[in-house]
Amino acid sequence: MTAGASAAAPKAKPATARGEATLRRLLDAAEAEFGERGFHAASVSSITARAKVSQGTFYIYFPSKEAIFGAVVRAIGHALRKHMAQASARHADRLHAQRAGLEAFLEFVQRHPGLYRIVQEAQFVDEAAFREYYERLAEGYARSLARDAAAGALAPGDAEVRAWAIMGLGHFLGLRHCLWRNSLPPPQVLDAAMDFICSGIAPRPAQTDRP
Amino acid sequence: MTAGASAAAPKAKPATARGEATLRRLLDAAEAEFGERGFHAASVSSITARAKVSQGTFYIYFPSKEAIFGAVVRAIGHALRKHMAQASARHADRLHAQRAGLEAFLEFVQRHPGLYRIVQEAQFVDEAAFREYYERLAEGYARSLARDAAAGALAPGDAEVRAWAIMGLGHFLGLRHCLWRNSLPPPQVLDAAMDFICSGIAPRPAQTDRP
């Protein structure tokens, strides 16, 4: 989760590369600890033991377990947005880019098995971090959908509503497949999801005219 | 939440109308308690105080706080499915029925302010109840989507993927509007959501041919 360190808003911003590395180790250890045990059972001493960092060092960076929890949520959000943006930027065809973004989200979930537990638990532990996680994801996504619609690559429509709708779809795909079955959705499920995102469920009387 | 009592699977099934009423009072009190305070801070003594029922009576119906929590999740799911099915059955036009179902979901969320907290917290407290909540919702919904597609009222497509996708959309609409802003989504947001559900985001070259 190295990409996320800069979004973590720690108490002290590390001045040295060694400090940066310590902060990253703490965030990675906290992600593992919160993801496996949940916020209530997790402890600062377990996080520092996982990170091989002293408790004194922990408190240079974070005043409390709550603080590093919020930092982990923000770091995951930052890393996820970067990962999805990179995946989708590789595709000139904007519908292919949509699929790539969705696949990138699901791969990220597979690689961060604690993500759902941490982000969903955030609504009870640090609601501001929870809202920020989704709102920042939606903002960037809506901007890209609006740009594509303005360029004629998508049908005109409300980019914000679309962004939240597709995030909801992705959320449940990740829940059902990555979390509950511990595997990426099979290709035919992604095909069906993309068919839904592209064309919806209404009858398509003009379908034969389509390319 | 009276409709849910039968789905609650309590320890003892009430034999009398008075017993039924007591069980319903306990479930309603538990919904309020868990919704306001969360599972960890909630207590059996607060639930019995809210329900005006003795602790001895509580333990006739439920062995523990965990047990009544699971029963509340199941009761909410049962009541929600019933409410949505009734709302959607009123419409012969199946796309109107989709909108009615979505609106019914959002109204239900407004009337059950603890719903999100309880259902989302269930993934940490009683994961089986959490999965069952969504899986039963999705099953019924997919059956209805499959029926409508077979009748030609919807485009052919994977009913299960569609059901989860639209549930995801509804989940985030409820989160953003009902939970975070404490109001139903404005009509133009519902219009945009229905446009997405019906027609997706792909360019619509044949749009002018559509009715």
Q: Does B139 touch chain A (CB under 8 A)?
A: no
Q: Are the beta carbons of A175 and B199 separated by less than 8 Å?
A: no
A182 residue type, one letter: N
**Closest C-alpha among B20, B29, B33 to residue B61:** B20
What per-residue confidence (pLDDT) applies to A206?
A: 58
CB pairs under 8 A between A and B: 157
What per-residue confidence (pLDDT) applies to A10?
A: 65
Walk me through the domains of chain A, giving residue ranges and CATH numbers: 2-67 (1.10.10.60), 69-199 (1.10.357.10)
What per-residue confidence (pLDDT) applies to A5?
A: 39
**How many angstroms separate the CA of residue B90 from the nearest CA in chain A?**
19
Q: Distances in Å between the alpha carbon of B138 and those of A37, A53, A141?
A: 29, 46, 26
- What does the pLDDT look like over B102-161, one tens digit per residue? 999 999 999 998 999 999 999 999 999 999 999 999 999 999 999 999 999 999 999 999
For the ranges A52-56, A82-86, B5-9, the lowest mean pLDDT is seen at B5-9
Q: Does B113 touch chain A (CB under 8 A)?
A: no
B22 C-beta neighbours (distance < 10 Å), count: 19
| Mean pLDDT score, B24-44 | 96
Q: What are phi and psi of A2, to 5 degrees?
A: -55, -35
The DSSP element (H or E) to which B132 belongs, if any, is helix B127-150
Q: Are the beta carbons of B120 and A123 separated by less than 8 Å?
A: yes
What is the three-state SS of A100-168? HHHHHHHHHHHHCCCHHHHHHHHHHHCHHHHHHHHHHHHHHHHHHHHHHHHCCCCCCCCHHHHHHHHHH
| Mean pLDDT score, A99-111 | 96
- The chain-wide mean pLDDT, for chain B, equals 91
Q: Which residue is listed with tokens 């982990």? A: A72
Query: Is residue A108 exposed (0-12), middle (13-18) or buried (19+ Cβ within 10 Å)?
Result: buried
| Mean pLDDT score, B88-92 | 90
Query: Rounded to whole angstroms, how far apart are CA atoms A189 and A193?
Result: 6
Query: Is residue A41 exposed (0-12), middle (13-18) or buried (19+ Cβ within 10 Å)?
Result: exposed
CA dihedral A20, A23, A25, A29 (to 10 degrees): -160
Query: Rounded to whole angstroms, how far apart are CA atoms B116 and B182?
Result: 12
Query: Rounded to whole angstroms, how far apart are CA atoms B102 and B84?
Result: 8
Query: Rounded to whole angstroms, how far apart are CA atoms B128 and B186?
Result: 34
CA-nearest residue to B39 within chain A is A124
What per-residue confidence (pLDDT) applies to B9?
A: 57
What per-residue confidence (pLDDT) applies to A9?
A: 57
Distance between terminal CA atoms of chain B? Answer: 42
What per-residue confidence (pLDDT) applies to A14?
A: 81
- What does the pLDDT look like over A9-39, one tens digit per residue? 567 778 788 999 999 999 999 999 999 999 9
- What does the pLDDT look like over A144-159, one tens digit per residue? 999 999 999 999 999 9
* 3-class SS of residue A15: coil
Please give the residue that has the higher pLDDT: either A54 or B204: A54
Tokens coding B165: 């996708």
Tokens coding A88: 């989708």
Q: Are the beta carbons of A157 and B201 separated by less than 8 Å?
A: yes
What per-residue confidence (pLDDT) applies to B15?
A: 78
- What does the pLDDT look like over A36-79, one tens digit per residue? 999 999 999 999 999 999 999 999 999 999 999 999 999 999 99
Q: Are the beta carbons of B124 and A123 separated by less than 8 Å?
A: no
- What does the pLDDT look like over B165-200, one tens digit per residue? 999 999 999 999 999 999 999 999 999 999 999 999
**Closest C-alpha among A160, A102, A108, A101 to residue A134:** A160
Q: Does B194 touch chain A (CB under 8 A)?
A: no
